[in-house]
Amino acid sequence: MKRAQERVREIIDILHKAYPRSRTALSFETPLQILVSTILSAQCTDKRVNKITPQLFRKYRTPHDFASADQKALEKEIRSTGFFRNKAKNIIGSSKKIVEDFDGDVPDNMKDLLTLPGVARKTANIVLSSGFRKVEGIAVDTHVGRLAQRLGLSKEKNSDKIEKDLMAIVLKKDWLDFNYMLVNHGRKVCPSRKPRCPACQLKHLCPSANKFYPDDELRINK
């Protein structure tokens, strides 16, 4: 455990230098907007979500607006993000619960957020960290899950189990930034298909580097 904590500490120090202002790429101004944007981002790029949300948020300004939305109309407005029927259903359902159970305010704690339709721990963590600057866990999306495995920080495949492994070795003061830094690194250096191991600042700490590049090409252990 101590060795893993020391290694992740070095990883975090390097990532802090590489991505000193890491924050979510989703555009938002309020907790409601980051909640909706995060729901829309499932199986969709942040760039695509950001293209449709300015117009969406001009039309739907409050939980009451989303709660009373016509589902067919909302489906059409978010269609380009994929899985639009289920996303529209969850956005409307979450908004209704926010209005009915939380006096129109997006919950600012994990327990209550998890009662909203379509909200699991990943979404809740992003809403808490980005919308409220609160930390109750580490958001594990596809980038974080992939890098956690490649860096040898977790052997799990389930996002909740990966989060549990990360929370055990990452200091709580770093939880807020850890997701954002790994997401940035995953996009810029360590994508799913063709990781750029030779250019990676973490290659000397990554047990997966030689799986993608032979020793004679990468030469990280010589």
Kindly list the catalytic residues: 122, 141
pLDDT given for residue 210 in this prediction: 80
Q: For residues 62 and 22, what is the distance between their CA atoms, to the nearest angstrom?
A: 28
Condensed to tens digits (0 to 9), the pLDDT of residues 163-214 reads 999 999 999 999 989 999 999 999 999 999 889 999 999 999 999 988 877 6
Tens of pLDDT, residue by residue over 87-106, are: 999 999 999 999 999 999 99
pLDDT level of residue 5 (50, 70, 90 thresholds): confident
CB proximity list for 31: less than 8 A, separation 6 or greater: 106, 108, 127, 131, 132
Give start and end residues of each alpha helix (H) in 108-203.
Answer: 110-113, 121-126, 142-150, 159-169, 175-188
Q: Could you read off the pLDDT of 25-45 as tens digits, one per residue?
A: 899 999 999 999 999 999 999
Phi, psi angle pair for 57, to nearest 5°? -75, -15
Higher pLDDT, 217 or 124: 124
| Domains of the chain (ranges, CATH numbers) | 1-188 (1.10.340.30), 194-222 (no CATH)
Stated pTM of the model: 0.85
CA dihedral of 209, 213, 219, 220, whole degrees rounded to 10: -10
